[in-house]
Amino acid sequence: MDDRPNLSRSRLAFDQGELAYDFGPEHPMKPQRLIALMDLLKTSELWKPDDKQCQLPIRAATIEELKLIHSEVYITAVQLLSVPEEIDAFRNEIETETTHIIMRELAEQYGFGEGDTPALPGMHDVSALITGGTLVALSAVMGLPEGGTFDSEDERPLHVFHPAGGLHHAQAERASGFCVYNDVSVAIARLLEEREAKVLYIDFDAHHGDGVQRSFYDDPRVMTISLHETGRYLFPGTGDVLEVGDGLGRGYSANIPLEPFTEDDSYIEAMNSLLPPLVISFAPDVIISNHGCDTHAWDPLTHLELTLSGIRAQMRLAHQLAHSYCEGRWVAVGGGGYDAYRVVPRAWSMLWAEISDQTLPEHLPEEWVQRWRPLWLKEAELEEEVQVALGKAPGVASFPTTFLDRREDFPAQSRRTTITRSNSRTVAFLRQLLLPSTVRKAFPSTQRISPMAGIFDLLHIRGSQTPSRIKTIESPAGPLLLRDFCPPSLVERLVPDSGLHAFARLPEREHQLLLNLAKSPDCALALAHTPEGEIVAQVTLAPGDDWWDGFENVYEVTIEVSSNWRRMGIAHKILDFALELDALEDMILFAMGLSWHWDTDNLKISVHRYRELIARLFGSQSFEEFATTEPDISMEPGNILLVRVGKNVDQLVVKRFLDRLLSTPHLARW
């Protein structure tokens, strides 16, 4: 009898044929990493090869499917370069001069020349098989016929792990960074061809997920988030913070470049400050995550210096986000990882344990260690030479015996404080750039400390003796109550109107955002609700983010009106109500509009028209448009910065404020 109750909805997709993805013994990407992984899964009994309940059979992607991402001419070139005799001719120069030149040019033109991704015999077949694996995995989780048939909906896989997948550098018309066909891009494209869906791709590999990002750079149905070692030092050099997408896809590419030697704590902080709010504001139907474990400190190619604790935090967060926001739909792919024996098998066994809700044993099975340690020792000498050549310190000369890492093997970096600070700045900038302010305030970053005791203190209304103000207004759809400084107990009693979903896409999630805002000690929440208790509009006042560090009285104003209650003048009335207190004359208030944050879906108007509406709305409260060189605001003509300087604000502070607007601190950094 199976004593693992949750396994039936978690599948591992692996086919022996995938081991043919082999660039030779000297290449850093070794199929041995998958053999060692499968061996560890079996010997540790985390996965049983004869148990059909935890397997997902795969097939190769067809040419038609590959063509959803790759050009026909590229696929043909890959097929030509896959034939062993042709490659031998190319390598050994035994053919005629002409054949040689043609094959060499073909290889160079499509990314198989000198360097990372040499052409290998049979590479079309094996690359198509790996691509098919991810395609079948995503189809199974999304209920497409390609994913297989299941007796009942309860048996359909909820989570699938495809370790050979994650060839994220492959481009439409070029092989790159050990990657021939882009399995994740093809799988997503196939899904979107079949049905409307919103797909979130999270790339934890140490390298930027450039291929997947490029495939969907202008597509708002796919959000790509990549955490990686900054492209200043590492292949492929892209993944800058300002790569946010293009056209309709603007705001749907998120890049989190981290410093070399980031280590676990700073990595986890960056991840936790950005991923949950990004996921809530995108509201995906499914998550695909790339678990490249080349982030590990023992990896010979990179420098992020994580341990398996940091890597496990990635897996746990992806799993939790899938259950919180996607009804559990989750596909995990392997990706990079070049310490083939010490890191990859442990990291991805841990991933399988996470996916299938199994407890990870403390120790690695002795027989597995006995089998793989000698292989590692044999290669370690060569490995060490490579590491020294790449500027890495020689690795710890020990083979692990536990699943998790031992702290003592990973001494702290000397520049930890500086590196952490630099990563925190990147995160603060990205939060402002990518997150609508309501979401940002509802998910405060762990670093952020309010510049002052809070607006409640300033307005002298903290405490129960000064309850919310209440005002009744008439609207074409009936009377509404306006209240400011709403406490959490009030927000809990109210319910969101069905059209209140501008930032979290669903009214119940929007309600959760408002509750978070009400609980936040430095935010002031004003609401408009019906006498029956339905929330139809909100205005939030909150301290400006890190960009305004050094200013005590700069506050950000945000507003939202339910899509069922628009064009009734409610926005004007609630804004007027929220901003009429005399104490606000001591403050500089600003409202920032980034066009990709705006909820224009139901309005059927352009962002430029929306910009005009916002300018007019805030203009009625004496806000003026201000020019700024802050790149996230000035990078797009649809964006806007509106400011109201209170009558009592000191002129020196105003001057400092204006200087800050034109100081481009982030441009100087990037």
**Nearest-angstrom CA–CA distance, 155 and 137:** 14
Which string of DSSP letters, residue by residue, matches 350-373? HHHHHHTT-PPPSBPPHHHHHHHH
d(CA 270, CA 272): 6
**Distance, CA of 303 to CA of 263 (rounded, Å):** 9
**Between helices 84-92 and 72-82, what is the axis angle to 10°?**
80
> Which neighbouring-strand residues pair with 554?
588
Closer to Zn ion at the Cβ: 174 or 207?
207
Nearer of residues 164 and 514 to Zn ion, judged by Cβ: 164
Closest CB to Zn ion belongs to which residue? Answer: 336
The distance of closest approach from Cβ of residue 316 to Zn ion in the complex, given in angstroms and rounded to an integer, is: 11
Least distance from C-beta 264 to Zn ion, angstroms? 18
Helix (H) or strand (E) holding 228: strand 222-229
Q: Smaller CB distance to Zn ion: residue 273 or 295?
A: 295
The three-state secondary structure class of 164 is: coil
Question: Shortest Cβ distance from residue 499 to Zn ion (Å)?
Answer: 32
Backbone angles phi, psi at 204, to 5 degrees: -95, -5
Nearest-approach distance from CB 464 to Zn ion, in angstroms: 43
At its nearest, how many Å lie between Zn ion and the CB of residue 169?
8
Q: Which is nearer to Zn ion, 206 or 607 (CB)?
A: 206
Type of residue numbered 645 = V
Residue 389 CB, nearest approach to Zn ion (Å): 18
Q: Which is nearer to Zn ion, 36 or 293 (CB)?
A: 293
Identity of the residue, 207 or 291, whose beta carbon is nearer to Zn ion in the bound complex: 207
Amino acid at 304: L
Measured from the Cβ of residue 270, the count of other Cβ atoms closer than 10 Å reads: 24
Q: Residue 516, by phi and psi: left (phi above 0), alpha (psi -120 to 50) or beta?
A: alpha
DSSP per-residue string spanning 167-196:
-TT-BTTB-BTTBSS-HHHHHHHHHHHHS-
Of 326 and 640, the one with the shorter C-beta distance to Zn ion is 326
* Three-state SS at 340: coil
- Bridge pairing between strands 554-561 and 534-543: antiparallel
Query: 164 near 334, Cβ under 8 Å?
Result: yes
**Closest approach of Zn ion to the CB of residue 206, in Å:** 5
Given the DSSP bridges, would you call strands 554-561 and 199-203 parallel, antiparallel or unpaired?
A: unpaired
For residue 275, the minimal CB distance to Zn ion (Å) is: 17
- Return phi, psi of residue 2, to 5°: -80, 125
Q: Please, are residues 212 and 201 in contact by the beta-carbon 8 Å criterion?
A: yes
Question: Closest distance between Zn ion and the C-beta of residue 123, in Å?
Answer: 19
Compute the least distance from the CB of residue 207 to Zn ion, in Å.
Answer: 4
Shortest gap between Cβ of 417 and Zn ion (angstroms)?
27
Give the residues lining the site for Zn ion (CB under 5 A): 205-207, 292, 294, 336
Q: How far is CA 299 from the centre of its chain?
A: 22
* Residue whose CB is less far from Zn ion, 143 or 499: 143
Radius of gyration of the chain from its Cα atoms, rounded to whole angstroms = 27
* Residue 250: CB minimum distance to Zn ion, A: 26
Closer of 118 and 292 to Zn ion (Cβ): 292
558 exposed, middle or buried (CB, 10 Å; 0-12, 13-18, 19+)? buried
CA distances from 292 to 302, 360, 376 (A): 12, 20, 20
Tell me how far, at minimum, the Cβ of 302 lies from Zn ion, in Å: 7
Beta strands 222-229 and 199-203 are parallel
Query: Helix count (H) and strand count (E) of the chain?
Result: 22, 16
User: In the complex with Zn ion, which residue's Cβ is closer, 204 or 555?
Assistant: 204
Cβ nearer to Zn ion, comparing 295 with 516? 295
Q: Which is nearer to Zn ion, 205 or 484 (CB)?
A: 205
Question: Of 297 and 591, which has the nearer Cβ to Zn ion?
Answer: 297
For residue 625, the cross-strand partners are 642
H/E run at residue 385: helix 366-389
- Which residue pairs, CB below 8 angstroms and at least 24 apart, start in 646-649? 646/553, 646/584, 646/585, 646/586, 646/587, 646/588, 646/589, 647/585, 648/585, 648/586, 649/553, 649/585, 649/586, 649/587, 649/588
Which residue's CB is nearer to Zn ion, number 15 or number 116? 116
Residue 344 or 591: the one with the smaller Cβ distance to Zn ion is 344
Q: What are phi and psi of 23, to 5 degrees?
A: -90, 10
Min separation Cβ 315 and Zn ion, Å: 11
What's the CA angle centered on 202, arms 200 and 208, to 5 degrees?
Answer: 130
Q: Where would I find the H helices in 110-170?
A: 123-142
State the minimum distance, in angstroms, from the CB of residue 492 to Zn ion: 29
Nearest residue (CB) to Zn ion, 37 versus 81 = 37
